[in-house]
């Protein structure tokens, strides 16, 4: 997904705002957050190494969306991600 969004952003198929909206929804989930925790450093290093302003901008948008999601509170579990919010099982403290 990240590669597709990065390509779409680079080719101007989606703008910063549309990218941010997609990332906001993406980072609601625990799997997406775990992925960026693990892969984000490599994306940042790669973007810096190639010096591509579009890629650097994209990584900045991803980092910002990730930070906002984390500040918003705990993620939605993978088993609850595709369930309508009003029907989800409440998450227990520490879970």
Predicted pLDDT of residue 86: 74
Note the pLDDT of residue 65: 98
pLDDT in tens, 65-80: 999 999 999 999 888 8
The pLDDT score that the predictor gives to residue 58 is: 98
Average pLDDT over residues 51-68: 97
What digits encode the pLDDT tens for the residues 17-29? 999 999 999 999 9
State pTM to two decimals.
Answer: 0.85
Contact, 9 vs 54, CB < 8 A? yes
Region 38-59: mean pLDDT is: 97
DSSP-derived secondary structure for 45-93: HHHHHHT-HHHHHHHHHHHHHHHHHHHH-SPBPTTTTTS-GGGSPPPPT
Q: Which residues contact 76 (CB under 8 A, 6 or more apart)?
A: 28, 29, 30, 88, 91
Contact 72, 33 (CB under 8 A): no
Cα–Cα distance list, 21 to 50, 79, 88 (Å): 26, 22, 22
pLDDT at 93 over 80: no
Q: Which of 6, 72, 79 is nearest to 40 (CA)?
A: 6
Of all residues in the chain, the percent with pLDDT exceeding 70 is: 92
């Amino acid at each position: 997904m990240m590669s597709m969004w990065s390509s779409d952003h680079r080719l101007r198929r989606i703008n910063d705002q549309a990218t941010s909206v997609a990332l906001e929804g993406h980072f609601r989930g625990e799997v997406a957050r775990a992925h960026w925790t693990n892969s984000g450093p490599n994306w940042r290093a790669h973007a810096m190494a190639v010096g591509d302003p579009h890629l650097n901008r994209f990584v900045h948008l991803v980092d910002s969306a990730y930070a906002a999601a984390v500040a918003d509170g705990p993620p939605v579990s993978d088993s609850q991600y595709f369930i309508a919010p009003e029907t989800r099982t409440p998450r227990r403290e520490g879970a």
